[in-house]
Amino acid sequence: MKTTGKVTGIIANLVTIEVDGPVAQNEICYIDLSGTKLMAEVIKVNGKEAYVQVYESTRGLKTGDTAEFEGHMLEVTLGPGLLSSNYDGLQNNLETMEGVFLKRGEYTSPLDMEKLWHFTPTAEPGTEVSAADWLGEVKEGWLPHKIMVPFIYKEQYILKHVAPEGDYKVSDKIAVITDSEGNDHEITMMQKWPVKVAITAYRDKPRPYRIMETGVRCIDTFNPIAEGGTGFIPGPFGCGKTVLQHAISKQAEADVIIMAACGERANEVVEIFTEFPLLIDVHTGRHLMERTTIICNTSNMPVAAREASVYTAMTIGEYYRSMGLRVLLLADSTSRWAQALREMSNRMEELPGADAFPMDLPAIISNFYARAGLVNLNNGKTGSVTFIGTVSPAGGNLKEPVTESTKKSARCFYALSQSRADKKRYPAVDPIDSYSKYLEYPEIVSDLSTRVNKEWVEKVMKGKNIILRGKEAYEQINILGDDGVPIEYHRKFWKSELIDFIILQQDAFDKIDSVTSLERQEYMYSLVIDICEKDFSFEDFEECGTFYKGLINILRQMNYSEFKSENFNKYLEQLNKEINNGR
């Protein structure tokens, strides 16, 4: 028997309902608005009164309208066909719709129910199985999509039957498992899972121990992110958050990309829809979209749907992680998500925390980031979800609550600076404020020393120090004038410019410069550090500037030319000549 109820109060999307039976926190219900069913989620229960947030506009809803409670939480449907799909936060398939927006009360099927998938069994009948164990596989694009024991089957079962190789729909029976009491359970290729509950059907979650190459130099060389790690990109509007995330998604060592475009302006979401399908995967030359799922909401969609989208995205990420794949989850921007939380909390008249955000904002953010990670699956393989979110702090103020809370949870901090963006120094990641805590992990240091070279982290610290000294020198020169400081100040400044122009700045739109392999990053960075360790002598600051500007020009040309190509060697020769030119 479903619990039902009657609407007693409405404040925008927050509706109070008098119920006739039990309701659970986060349970889903449908409110009947003259035949149109509006989906809503329980966010507070007080005796016979349930507070629900409606995922749609409540225009026209009246007191006395009826509601029916579903007995389960907001769920996401998991199965083959998620990739290359565009969904909204409630997993409505936006491709099957006209335009980006759905009509009120309209929900679409997330998966193609008619499509046939070629299934190959991999598990033997008679073996013991449990949640997330692999039973077989279908090809989704060119990725192996594992068909797993659904995550709800947490106990041990005996695999009674598995379907022979052949073509099946997602709803066809492909296996039967038997529980300890002898009851059979039928398994299909699709399953449902509540979005706000982490999928934990794995053996353990060790600390991340290897880096994830992104091809972006200011990340890989200076502040690497770990596979299964977390990072965030705060930055004011127009500083390059979206460009940086796109660059990472094109190039990173990941099998699956999940893009949560949450609550940005409608035109930005349309941009993602039009731009993402055009992005080309630098590893395979194929469309990135083939292994991408986009979950999007705009700020003009109802607040509850915006809140749901990041959870939907994370759950899909965890699903692919269980298949032993490397998932990269991107959210742009988590500020809109936090604003959705704030709107809800304010309507509920909860005691507000800083800037009227909910008191438990730090806990909500940290619980979310904690769902990322590298895991050891029960079969001994690994899978990972690496999460990078952007934050758009109002007025670029990094002291606001969302940035502060995120800083406590994310291990990498890529601060975009307005002044760097104004000077067109892209990506505008501030080399002094930004950091990667992974550089302090002995496991990561040792991974870098085998993958790159033994003294790598030491060398990185050297470079960071040069940047810092350069900034100090620059400030002194600004105060005292070019002539007012010893030549040493100019040398320090130009050394930091060398690192800035050659390593940190990277043109996301140049065919070659946009992606730099780790091998090439090592080569270029070592070259630059070697030059920085030489102290050339100059007559005056002008000569100093001219010399380093010359080096920057030649080195930049090297960035734009194919590694080890004729052009590259030509510039290298020129560089050596310049350096040895009597100095």
Chain positions contacting ligand ADP, by CB under 6 A:
235, 237-243, 426-427, 506-509
- How crowded is residue 360: how many other Cβ atoms within 10 Å of its Cβ? 15
Q: How far is the CB of 507 from ligand ADP (least distance, A)?
A: 5
Q: Rank residues 241 and 342 by Cβ distance to Mg ion and give the closer one.
A: 241
CB-based burial, 136-164: b 16+ in 10 Å, e otherwise:
bbbebeebebbbbbbbebeeebbbebbbe
Give the contacts of 44 (CB within 8 A, at least 6 positions apart).
25, 50, 51, 348
Q: Is 496 in the site for Mg ion (CB under 5 A)?
A: no
List the single partner that 350 binds among Mg ion, ligand ADP, none, CB under 5 to 8 Å by kind.
none
Q: Rank residues 242 and 409 by Cβ distance to Mg ion and give the closer one.
A: 242
Segment near Mg ion (CB under 5 A); pick from 237-245, 334-342, 462-470, 556-564: 237-245
Q: How far is the CB of 470 from ligand ADP (least distance, A)?
A: 21
Q: Rank residues 508 and 512 by Cβ distance to ligand ADP and give the closer one.
A: 508
Q: How far is the CB of 506 from ligand ADP (least distance, A)?
A: 6
Burial class (CB in 10 A: 0-12, 13-18, 19+), 219: buried
By beta carbon distance, the residue nearest ligand ADP is 240
By beta carbon distance, the residue nearest Mg ion is 242
Helix axes of 456-480 and 487-499: crossing angle, nearest 10 degrees: 130
Q: How far is the CB of 425 from ligand ADP (least distance, A)?
A: 9
Q: How far is the CB of 283 from ligand ADP (least distance, A)?
A: 20
238-297: which residues touch Mg ion (CB under 5 A)?
241-242
List the single partner that 294 binds among ligand ADP, Mg ion, none, CB under 5 to 8 Å by kind.
none
**Comparing C-alpha atoms, which of 466, 581, 475, 485 is closest to residue 541?**
485
Q: Is 261 helix (H, G, I), strand (E, B) or coil?
A: strand
Q: Are 189 and 400 in contact (CB under 8 A)?
A: no
Q: How far is the CB of 445 from ligand ADP (least distance, A)?
A: 28
Say how many residues touch Mg ion, by CB under 5 A: 2
Q: Apex CA 194: angle with CA 191 and CA 198, to 5°?
A: 105
List the single partner that 243 binds among ligand ADP, Mg ion, none, CB under 5 to 8 Å by kind.
ligand ADP
Q: Are 251 and 214 in contact (CB under 8 A)?
A: yes
310-369: which residues touch Mg ion (CB under 5 A)?
none
Q: Rank residues 215 and 427 by Cβ distance to ligand ADP and give the closer one.
A: 427
DSSP letter for 496, please: H
User: What is 379-438 written as a DSSP string?
Assistant: TS-EEEEEEEEEE--GGG-TTSHHHHHHHHH-SEE--B-HHHHHTT-SS-B-TTT-EEGG
Q: Across-strand partners of 9?
A: 16
Q: How far is the CB of 215 from ligand ADP (least distance, A)?
A: 12
Provide the phi-psi class of 377: left if phi over 0, else alpha when psi is between -120 and 50, else beta.
beta
Q: Rank residues 54 and 555 by Cβ distance to ligand ADP and give the closer one.
A: 555
Q: How far is the CB of 242 from Mg ion (least distance, A)?
A: 3
Q: How far is the CB of 268 from ligand ADP (least distance, A)?
A: 8
Q: Rank residues 242 and 251 by Cβ distance to ligand ADP and give the closer one.
A: 242
Q: How far is the CB of 411 from ligand ADP (least distance, A)?
A: 21
List the single partner that 194 binds among ligand ADP, Mg ion, none, CB under 5 to 8 Å by kind.
none
100-139: which residues touch Mg ion (CB under 5 A)?
none
CA distances to 132, 352, 390, 471, 503 from 431, rounded to whole Å, are: 42, 35, 17, 10, 11
Give the contacts of 113 (CB within 8 A, at least 6 positions apart).
169, 170, 171
Question: Residue 214 corresponds to which amino acid?
Answer: T
Q: How far apart are CA 340 and CA 336, in angstroms?
A: 6
Report the relative pairing of strands 230-234 and 382-391 from DSSP bridges: parallel
Q: Rank residues 81 and 427 by Cβ distance to ligand ADP and give the closer one.
A: 427
**Beta strands per DSSP E along 150-235:** 157-162, 166-168, 175-178, 184-187, 191-194, 230-234
Q: Rank residues 242 and 339 by Cβ distance to Mg ion and give the closer one.
A: 242
Q: Rank residues 115 and 265 by Cβ distance to Mg ion and give the closer one.
A: 265
Q: Rank residues 241 and 459 by Cβ distance to ligand ADP and give the closer one.
A: 241
Q: Rank residues 241 and 336 by Cβ distance to Mg ion and give the closer one.
A: 241
**Comparing C-alpha atoms, which of 304, 264, 310, 265 is closest to residue 12?**
304
List the single partner that 237 binds among Mg ion, ligand ADP, none, CB under 5 to 8 Å by kind.
ligand ADP
- How crowded is residue 351: how many other Cβ atoms within 10 Å of its Cβ? 7
Segment near Mg ion (CB under 5 A); pick from 87-95, 153-161, 234-242, 452-460: 234-242
List the single partner that 164 binds among Mg ion, ligand ADP, none, CB under 5 to 8 Å by kind.
none
Q: How far is the CB of 498 from ligand ADP (least distance, A)?
A: 19
List the single partner that 426 binds among Mg ion, ligand ADP, none, CB under 5 to 8 Å by kind.
ligand ADP
Q: Is 96 helix (H, G, I), strand (E, B) or coil?
A: coil
Q: How far apart are CA 207 and CA 242, in angstroms?
A: 28
Residues forming contacts to Mg ion in the complex (CB under 5 A) are: 241-242
